[in-house]
Structure 1
């Protein structure tokens, strides 16, 4: 079969001779491949498949650097068979398509390279295998592939502290921290550039984690301003209280915004929600506080696009967007969006 365009999720779209849609992994657009169905059955809206033989390969196809990448192997990487520049082109296509389809916006955003492309992942979860080895799961499976070395693993020892600029952050060794070794600094710099925090301003850091953004916002607004970080994970929130002079609140973000103890107005909002996005009630809670700027950090372009559409319905338009390849070799991409209130002309 001939493969069509890339789709969100690390696969390309193809059609079988009977017209059934297939989402094919380990293929690239315009390639001709033999695909083996891995999920689904007759009558389903679509099937999942793997390209098990490449009949006519793309000029962008390269030998995967990892011996465990490919069909019926480790499921951690989606695009090792594409050269890195083309990986970013594919992700750029996905981000633009999601914004157009879900938010009705045409964007010229380009996914930016961030080094390193291998050895970047700060957190790894291996599975113990018999005999003392280690393994990783296959794609969408509990089956385990034994691996000697994972090429995206940064190989860093488990640590209870991470440093970004002048700040040292206490973290849980197995808790959330930005996966790419360069991500904390890249994202902090981008958030500050977009938010332009000023001395004396007020700010909310929602889904604050251990206070990465809140620490720098507190520096920027100074003693005359204030920052409140809200985080639902108790351990992360406790660390945030240690890591920054911002107020650290352990609470569900939506409930806190709708509760009596949250401020009625703020100048700035920074949010870094989970992969599912912020959703309607959180967006309403943010807009209701009439911030001059909202900076949204997103690890899923579809969730970002849906939330951008919700902000637009409430008068906050997308005025800047950057995207970073902070998950090289995978389909994931990190975006930072600036939303501001749009006044009627």
Structure 2
């Protein structure tokens, strides 16, 4: 079923690819050893070059470099720099960040659905015999017994069905810079820098800046934001050690004067300093206004903010009411804080907790005239520990980073017993792990939705409504 051949210093394996695994890999086996293979599709026969692993490694990693028997779902990759076949033919590596680009969009979503089902079943016990979702018995889905998950496509504009073929959705991008000042990205799990001259996943507003034409000597990284609301883009330069902001003249000459610019680095300081313009961008979501600085967190798909806010608020519809006490945990710049505050009104209370100082400052700026909102910067588990003496919440929005909320936060929420938790997750494994702890305490997953907010990648965003057990459980 598999064989090994030498091609110079690298090892190439002939492999039949098995099912998709969390993380964007397909699972294969070589002489009993598991090989996690990127840039393939289940069922394909491929040649894959080892990228990680030795004789003592528990598993290996590999990139597809040749397809011997292609899947009917394989298509031409829309981005040459991320195409594994093209990159290896040039003797190089593909950039990370578009590892599903060779797969037709409907199949990308089916693979994500399979991963979600597997994680929920294995880590949380959801979908196994006898378990329920919202009181309905779960059954077979065509991919084995489990939750009937649908990953919903998200068009680029409200009221449209156009998803641009999975391209042009990123309103925020992070880039590296080569030692000679060229815009670049990293290869997956590598320090190798690959110069880039386009970013097909990014919006037209970002590509029109032509950042790859800039003289970026003295810059180590670059972050760009182009708000979906249409306000002016912002560029943040991460400066190398010993480089002062005054040395950015060459880069600034190539940027549209309307673009605001800030810088951060060992010389400039940990807090970004504004070089030109406001040093921030304005975001508008469902009637709410937000200010986000250059290093502040914001959802990257142009429709993600309204999609997730709508899903979370609909999930909590039966719990939110004027005067309610609610919490927005891992709140970022306050994406969910604003609609929560509108729902509970001046007589209610919203605790908005964020750990990152810069992003928390953004939230304080946004909500400084709303006394019903308390913006607190700090670790969520520590803030909840202080809050436990002041009572519980009617509802909680939980939107942690990729690592998930973790055992301590889950335990504290279980002890506080809010009436409902809307858990917004960008990683199905972390969500399923946390959900498993909730379920051990008698909580149930009442509703669940998944959204394809990261086309061309293995990432997926989900929103689950968690309800506590009945009293006396």
Question: How far 1:160 moved relative to its partner?
Answer: 2.1
User: Max radius of gyration: which structure?
Assistant: 2
Counterparts in 2 of 1:168-247, with a 5 A limit? 168-196=289-317, 197-244=320-367, 245=370, 246-247=373-374
Mean Cα displacement is larger for which, 328-337 or 221-230?
A: 221-230
Question: How far 1:128 moved relative to its partner?
Answer: 2.2
Unaligned 5+ runs, structure 1? none
Mean Cα displacement is larger for which, 163-172 or 203-212?
A: 163-172
Counterparts in 2 of 1:17-96, with a 5 A limit? 18-71=31-84, 72-96=93-117
Unaligned 5+ runs, structure 2? 1-14, 85-92, 128-146, 156-162, 207-225, 227-232, 235-279
Question: How far 1:231 moved relative to its partner?
Answer: 0.9
Is the CA contact (8 Å cut-off) linking 1:256 and 1:262 kept in structure 2?
no
Question: How far 1:262 moved relative to its partner?
Answer: 5.9
Question: How far 1:19 moved relative to its partner?
Answer: 1.5
Question: Does the residue aligned with 1:160 lie in a helix, a strand or coil?
Answer: strand
Alpha-carbon displacement from aligned partner over 1:37-63 (angstroms, at most 9, x marks no partner) = 110001211100011110000000000
**TM-score using structure 1 length:** 0.96
Is the CA contact (8 Å cut-off) linking 2:388 and 2:416 kept in structure 1?
no
Higher-RCO chain (CA-CA 8 Å, sequence separation at least 6): 1
Alpha-carbon distance in 2 for matches of 1:99, 1:114 = 23
Do residues 120 (structure 1) and 141 (structure 2) align? Answer: no
Question: Does the residue aligned with 1:125 lie in a helix, a strand or coil?
Answer: strand
Question: How far 1:172 moved relative to its partner?
Answer: 1.4
Change (3 A) 1:78 1:262: farther
Is the CA contact (8 Å cut-off) linking 1:232 and 1:251 kept in structure 2?
yes
Change (3 A) 1:228 1:36: same
Mean Cα displacement is larger for which, 80-89 or 66-75?
A: 66-75
Alpha-carbon distance in 1 for matches of 2:302, 2:46 = 35
Change (3 A) 1:260 1:190: closer
Identify the residue that residue 469 of structure 2 maps to in structure 1: 342
Alpha-carbon distance in 1 for matches of 2:184, 2:390 = 47
Question: How far 1:325 moved relative to its partner?
Answer: 0.7
Question: How far 1:74 moved relative to its partner?
Answer: 0.9
Do residues 282 (structure 1) and 405 (structure 2) align? Answer: no
Do residues 164 (structure 1) and 281 (structure 2) align? Answer: no
Question: How far 1:261 moved relative to its partner?
Answer: 7.2
Question: Does the residue aligned with 1:100 lie in a helix, a strand or coil?
Answer: helix
Question: How far 1:207 moved relative to its partner?
Answer: 0.6
Identify the residue that residue 316 of structure 1 maps to in structure 2: 443
Alpha-carbon distance in 2 for matches of 1:152, 1:262 = 46
1:97 to 105, 118, 123: 118
Aligned-pair Cα RMSD in Å = 1.5
Give the number of aligned pairs: 344
Alpha-carbon distance in 1 for matches of 2:436, 2:74 = 35
2:182 to 129, 133, 154: 133
Alpha-carbon distance in 2 for matches of 1:262, 1:212 = 27
Question: How far 1:130 moved relative to its partner?
Answer: 5.4
Alpha-carbon displacement from aligned partner over 1:276-321 (angstroms, at most 9, x marks no partner) = 1111110111122221110001000000000001111122111111
Question: How far 1:208 moved relative to its partner?
Answer: 0.8
